[in-house]
Amino acid sequence: MQIATQHVVVLPALSSGSFEVRWRALSADGHVIKGNFDFTVGE
């Protein structure tokens, strides 16, 4: 099985501010895994 190690999501231009990414993925052993992280644009 080929395991993806990177996933790119193209977004429209973001205005300045704080954003949260929430992700869910199916792990290699069949479990759903999830996480989140924040990032800031500008400022």
Which residues, listed in sequence order, are joined to residue 5 by a DSSP beta bridge?
A: none
Q: Which residue is nearest to Cu ion (CB)?
A: 31
Say whether residue 7 binds Cu ion (CB under 5 A). Answer: no
Say whether residue 38 binds Cu ion (CB under 5 A). Answer: no
* In the complex, minimum distance from the CB of residue 4 to Cu ion, in angstroms, rounded to a whole number: 16
Say whether residue 29 binds Cu ion (CB under 5 A). Answer: yes
> What does the binding site for Cu ion look like in residue numbers (CB under 5 A)?
29, 31
